[in-house]
Amino acid sequence: MSDKVKFKIDGKECVADKGVNLVDAAKQNGIYIPTLCHLEGVKPAGSCRVCNVKINGRFMTACTTPVADGMEVENNTQDIQELRKIIVETLFVSGNHYCPACEKSGCCELQALGYKFTMLVPRFPYAFEPKEVDAESTKLFIDRNRCILCKRCVRSIKSKDGKSIFAIKGRGHNAMINIDHELAAQMTDEEATMAMDNCPVGSILKKERGYYTPIGSRKYDKEPIGSDIEESVII
Amino acid sequence: MSKPIVATTSLAGCFGCHMSILDVDERILDLFDLVEFNKSPIDDIKEFTKMCDIGIIEGGCCNSENVHVLKDFRKNCKILISLGECAIMGGLPAMRNNIPIEECLREAYLDGPSTKGHNPDGIMPNDEELPILLNKVYPCHEVVKIDYYLPGCPPRADLIWNALVALVTGDEMKLPYEVVKFD
């Protein structure tokens, strides 16, 4: 039993493999912790903060925290869900998210979290900051208006010899996602599709694809995000 | 008790939200039993003739006339609802917010594919009768106080129906997952 740890999420007894991060450990126990930057099997970054939970009374990001024996985790409480809703609203106002015109609409994880938290309007003013679109690559569009700087693409999409195809340029307020056009030109169609699918928003789009799935059949049209892990609780 | 009075308007919108109001189908007959319409494109009443209970706003504010109408609605309606993405966040018209206004006008009247070479005098609309474009498109709640928000592009007919029924009956509004959408 030494390779298993016991912990509690909202009072429920859970068991998971030692060393697993809390998001994946919760998933093994049928509990959904919302995330935007986390991607199973990829080194966590803790950049979006949506997976905030309270561990032994302190706020921590679940994706960067390995489970430990005896952990007491608060996940689905009103104040934590409200905090997550605030983070989602912040992401909506700091980018330029025109859902009605976005090819990713209906399959977008940020939008799906907006639905999950019943975000009717963000409580913050819209920034409307100018961001650039990079359409130079043969297979991909990079639309920085929608980028939430989660670094999923940086961490998960590599060239055949292990080089990063995507990278963050600049720091702080000036940070933006960039693509290596030479490396991107060598991507296969499957790799380009994976880059698009790994992007939680509509920032990386495959060219010549457009509005692929009809409204009504898209991923989050009928099923709330996380409902594949647990019966979703909408607050 | 007299029926609650509803007013509606479309500011910088496409009238899609109003089409969605009509999309309640035969319930439109029940709606006319439940409420009375005042200033609205639905009955073509142009000016407020009395104080209204509910004002439904489609579209954001892109020009001075939109601001004028919105303030008029705030003055004449007890409850204001932002209906649809344009009212809530500016929507597609707000895509110009990152482009300088002069560049927008040049593209529309001088350099665009349909105008280039056809406007040798470089005339741009500039008459005091015409509303002035704002520097950017504003969500309604950044101009006046808005009480409720119904997102969607357009908001689903069931969402509009649920909201109106809840407001008229005083019951809690139903927000099923399928009807709260941003597109």
Instruction: Give residue A231's pLDDT.
Output: 72
Q: Flag whether residue B32 sits within 8 Å of chain A, measured between CB atoms.
A: no
A231, part of any domain: no
Strands in chain B per DSSP E = 5-10, 36-37, 52-58, 61-63, 77-83, 133-138, 148-150
Instruction: Report the SS3 class of residue A52.
Output: strand
User: B 84-143 residues with CB below 8 A of A?
Assistant: 85, 88-92, 94-95, 97-98, 136, 139, 141-142
Instruction: Give residue B174's pLDDT.
Output: 87
Report H helices in A55-119. 78-94, 109-116
Alpha-carbon distance B169 to A224, whole Å? 29
Q: Is the pLDDT of residue B63 over 60?
A: yes
**Is residue A172 located within the same domain as residue A63?**
no
**Is residue A95 located within the same domain as residue A167?**
yes
- What mean pLDDT, rounded, does chain A reach? 94
Instruction: Give residue B1's pLDDT.
Output: 61
Return the closest-CA partner of residue B163 out of B31, B25, B11: B31
Return the closest-CA partner of residue B175 out of B145, B152, B153: B152
DSSP label at A57?
Answer: T
- Alpha-carbon A113 to chain mean position: 9
**Is residue A203 located within the same domain as residue A121?**
yes
**Is residue A90 located within the same domain as residue A204?**
yes
- Interface probe with B: pick from A123, A126, A131, most Cβ of B within 10 Å: A126
Instruction: Give residue A62's pLDDT.
Output: 97
CATH annotation of B5-96+137-179: 3.40.50.700
A96, part of any domain: yes
**Is residue A42 located within the same domain as residue A91?**
no
List, for residues A167-201, the tens digit of each pLDDT value. 999 999 899 999 999 999 999 999 999 999 999 99
A90, part of any domain: yes
Return the closest-CA partner of residue B86 out of B97, B77, B74: B97
pTM here? 0.94
A70, part of any domain: yes
Alpha-carbon distance A92 to A125, whole Å? 10
Structural domain total, chain A: 2
**Is residue A62 located within the same domain as residue A96?**
no
* ipTM exceeding cut-off 0.95 for this assembly: no
List, for residues A121-150, the tens digit of each pLDDT value. 999 999 999 999 999 999 999 999 999 999
> Residue B41: is the preceding peptide bond cis (ω within 30°)?
no
Band the pLDDT of A232: cuts 50, 70, 90.
low
Q: Do B139 and A126 touch (CB under 8 A)?
A: yes
Q: Do A99 and B177 touch (CB under 8 A)?
A: no
**Is residue A191 located within the same domain as residue A102?**
yes
Q: Do A120 and B150 touch (CB under 8 A)?
A: yes
**Is residue A68 located within the same domain as residue A109?**
no
Residue type, B70: L
Which helix (H) or strand (E) segment holds residue A177: the answer is: strand A176-179
Band the pLDDT of A11: cuts 50, 70, 90.
very high
- A contacts of B149 (beta carbons < 8 Å): 120-121
- B contacts of A96 (beta carbons < 8 Å): 95, 97-98
Radius of gyration of chain A (CA): 18
A217, part of any domain: yes
Q: Do B153 and A99 touch (CB under 8 A)?
A: yes
A196, part of any domain: yes
Q: Do B85 and A100 touch (CB under 8 A)?
A: yes
State chain B's maximal CA–CA distance in angstroms. Answer: 63
HSE, CB side, 13 Å, CA atoms: give it for residue B100.
3
Final residue in a domain of this structure, among A76, A99, A124: A76
Instruction: Give residue A233's pLDDT.
Output: 52
Alpha-carbon distance A56 to A7, whole Å? 11
A230, part of any domain: no
**Is residue A105 located within the same domain as residue A217?**
yes
A30, part of any domain: yes
The number of residues in chain A equals: 235
Return the closest-CA partner of residue A192 out of A206, A181, A178: A206
β-bridge pairing A4-9 and A12-17: antiparallel
Report how far apart, in Å, the C-alpha atoms of B141 and of each of A124, A146, B82, B182 are: 11, 23, 8, 17
A117 φ, ψ (degrees, to nearest 5)? -90, 10
Instruction: Give residue A235's pLDDT.
Output: 44
Q: Is the pLDDT of residue B17 over 90?
A: yes
Alpha-carbon distance A26 to A20, whole Å? 10
Radius of gyration of chain B (CA): 18
List, for residues B118-172, the tens digit of each pLDDT value. 999 999 998 999 999 999 999 999 999 999 999 999 999 999 999 999 999 999 9
State which residues form the domain around A50. Answer: 17-76
CATH number at residue A66: 3.10.20.740
Token representation of residue A128: 């409307």
Instruction: Give residue A230's pLDDT.
Output: 86
